[in-house]
A and B are shown apart, each in its own frame.
Chain A
Amino acid sequence: MKTEAIATQKDSSGINQQITGSEILLRSLIAEEVQTLFGYPGGAIMPVYDSLYSFSDQLKHILVRHEQGAIHAAQGFARVSGKTGVVLATSGPGATNLITGLADAMIDSTPLVCITGQVASHLLGTDAFQETDIINISLPVTKWNIQVTRAADVASAVARAFFIAKSGRPGPVLIDITKDAQFEMADFHYEICHQLKTYKPIPNPDQRSIAEAAKLINEASRPYILSGQGIILSGAQTELIDCAEKAGIPVASTLLGLSGFPASHPLYVGYLGMHGNYSPNVNTNECDVLIAIGMRFDDRVTGNVAKYAPNAKVIHIDIDESEIGKIIKTEVGIHADAKHALTLLLPHLKKTEHPEWLASFKKLDELEKAIIQQDCHPECEGLKMGEVVRRLNQITQGNSVVCTDVGQHQMVTSRYYSFNDLRSCISSGGLGTMGFCLPAAMGAKCGAPEKDVIAIIGDGGFQMTIQELGTIMQYQIPVKIIILNNNFLGMVRQWQQLFFDKRYSFTEMDNPDFVAIAKAYRIESQKVESRDYLDQALMDMMNHKGPYLLEVVVEKEENVFPMVPTGAGVAEMRLT
């Protein structure tokens, strides 16, 4: 383990001073420059919370209302700030309540360090009160985890955890600390971890692969870049723009890649996926060289793999070697950090343009215009989700951080909000976790207090983590919450309509008065049902200094199009 010593606890005479495992934990977090924690106390983590009482000037702890809220908040914090999110929870149910968030962070590559309390070491395996085997339960949904039973091991566990969570392909790490280890006294000496014997997070890209990729791109007549979250995680936005501009390559984005390439850029052709834009999906099957960067060919992006990009030679750049060739056969695989690979690639690229190829996207865009018109300028009486997002985009000029939950509103927001600033799109991608948005927005606001943070949520997902309104109230976290309320689990209902013969099996919702609920939490709120009042309501929300909830009643049975039905290829995308 390669380390860098940065903190030691000594008394006034310079002699090492023993402190508790709990204090070692908190001093270790401070050594990692942690300032914000999201958590919830309980029996097995009480020594840590007791120590936290003395560190409240250095560590800001946000008391959530449910551990799932804590971990999603930490995810929002990490995604917006690029830092590692930190969570505290107790043993048993406290720890198991983190599982959804761990799975979400694992699949979406979000760096987290979760610290759980555990029963005292002599009780391990005895079914003691609130004992659960969180190490084994969390194995498949953590990048790494460790149980600590001695105070002397706390600091090195924290150091390794932060290194592992953030480096390479980021992910969640869990440290389970027994209660006796929290009480026990030990010397404190903290060393930042930079290297582990068996873990090589920074690959060295093969120069031959870079040259082969450049040759394919330079000889291509219809090259096409698919930009994933790897661009954001490696901070490669500039390098991507440089490569795309030099070689004249159109760029499409995955859901998690949104904001990695400016939506206002002339080479940006749209958003990929089942409910993405028409031209970037359809033209996937027309390109002759496909350059996938920091993305993993999720089935929501590829549709039917057998019908995916049949004319393309595929170049896949990814920091995770196991992703290369996993789904799509790859001509050139580059195992590398996106920024590093693009930096090496740029000098090999010929300056060129592909005007006809680029024009083909514009031509296909024409076919989507009718849908955009219906979504954003509807003639129906009720409001539609698209027009709400479009107006919000105009009012905020695409400069806010926008968090979404999962479902129709998520797809509509991804289509109609212009994500221009890096790290401005926060959504649950791979896991599709309903209930993600409200706590994630709360965490995002803590991670980027200078930015406007807007949560766009459906009525279903909102009620999955609605309790976090209490956290928002207590800390006056000024997030702006828009509930697009159609009194349905809209995406499931859409599928029931299209593929299950309109058998709306348990998708209609009888909802409470959301405005009254917000008011009960002392959060300013209003409900809008008419187009005439939409702009004013959005302005009221954005101009309000504190948290705000805006319920927008939208059309009950709206469908999101275009759409690639299950089993279809991307070129078979349906416009209606």
Chain B
Amino acid sequence: MKKDFVLEVHSENGFSVLNRMINIFNRRRVRIKRLLATEMPGDYKNGMASFIVHATEENMERVRLQLEKLIEVERTDVREMNLNHQA
């Protein structure tokens, strides 16, 4: 069953990093419902992208592992979307 997940990806902030992340969702046909990407305050070399995606739990885990493989990605945090608390 598909659910909404909040996925936060902490990474270096290079020109193609966000594209690499989005490619991983596209390739697995995982729908991005919302995306917020930001530089870390006072640190333009690092950034964080927060996705809300619609996927099965299994697909979410495969995507997370693929994201963690990216050279620039430091870590990922995933949690199921809590309808009472919008991320």
Interface residues of A (CB under 8 A from B): 135-136, 139-140, 143-147, 164, 196-199, 320-322, 326
Q: Which residues of B contact A197 (CB under 8 A)?
A: 12, 74
Interchain CA distance A199-B71 in the complex, whole Å? 5
Judge if B27 is at the interface, Cβ distance under 8 Å: yes
Judge if B39 is at the interface, Cβ distance under 8 Å: no
* Docked-complex contact A198 and B71, CB < 8 angstroms: yes
Q: How many A-B residue pairs have CB under 8 A?
A: 37
* Docked-complex contact A147 and B15, CB < 8 angstroms: yes
Looking at the complex, which of B16-24, B49-57, B78-86 is the stretch in contact with chain A?
A: B16-24
Of B11, B15, B74, the residue contacting A135 (CB under 8 A) is B15
* Docked-complex contact A321 and B65, CB < 8 angstroms: yes
- 0 or 1 for each of B57-87: is its CB under 8 Å from A? (1 = yes): 0000010011011011110000000000000
What DSSP secondary structure best describes chain A's contact surface? Answer: mixed
Of B12, B15, B23, B71, the residue contacting A164 (CB under 8 A) is B71
Interchain CA distance A198-B66 in the complex, whole Å? 14
Q: Contacts A198-B11, A198-B73; is A136 near B16 (CB within 8 Å)?
A: yes
* Docked-complex contact A139 and B23, CB < 8 angstroms: yes
- Interface members, chain B 1-45 (any A CB < 8 Å): 11-12, 14-16, 19-20, 23, 27
Q: Contacts A135-B15, A139-B16; is A196 near B71 (CB within 8 Å)?
A: yes
Interchain CA distance A320-B72 in the complex, whole Å? 16
8 example contacts (A-B, Cβ-Cβ < 8 A) are as follows: A135-B15, A136-B19, A146-B14, A198-B73, A199-B71, A321-B69, A322-B68, A326-B62
* Docked-complex contact A198 and B62, CB < 8 angstroms: no
Seed contacts A140-B27, A198-B11, A320-B69; 12 additional CB < 8 Å A-B pairs = A139-B19, A143-B71, A146-B14, A164-B71, A198-B12, A198-B71, A199-B71, A199-B72, A321-B68, A322-B65, A322-B66, A322-B68
Interchain CA distance A253-B23 in the complex, whole Å? 32
* Docked-complex contact A139 and B20, CB < 8 angstroms: yes
Most buried by B among A146, A147, A164, A199: A199
Q: Which residues of A contact B68 (CB under 8 A)?
A: 321-322
Q: Which residues of B contact A136 (CB under 8 A)?
A: 16, 19
Interchain CA distance A147-B17 in the complex, whole Å? 12
Interchain CA distance A251-B27 in the complex, whole Å? 34
A333 to chain B, nearest CB (A): 11
Interchain CA distance A146-B18 in the complex, whole Å? 13
Q: Which residues of B contact A198 (CB under 8 A)?
A: 11-12, 71-74
Interchain CA distance A472-B8 in the complex, whole Å? 51
- Pick the 4 closest A-B CB pairs, nearest first: A322-B65, A198-B74, A144-B71, A199-B71
Q: Which residues of A contact B27 (CB under 8 A)?
A: 140
Closest to B14 in A: A146
Interchain CA distance A348-B74 in the complex, whole Å? 34
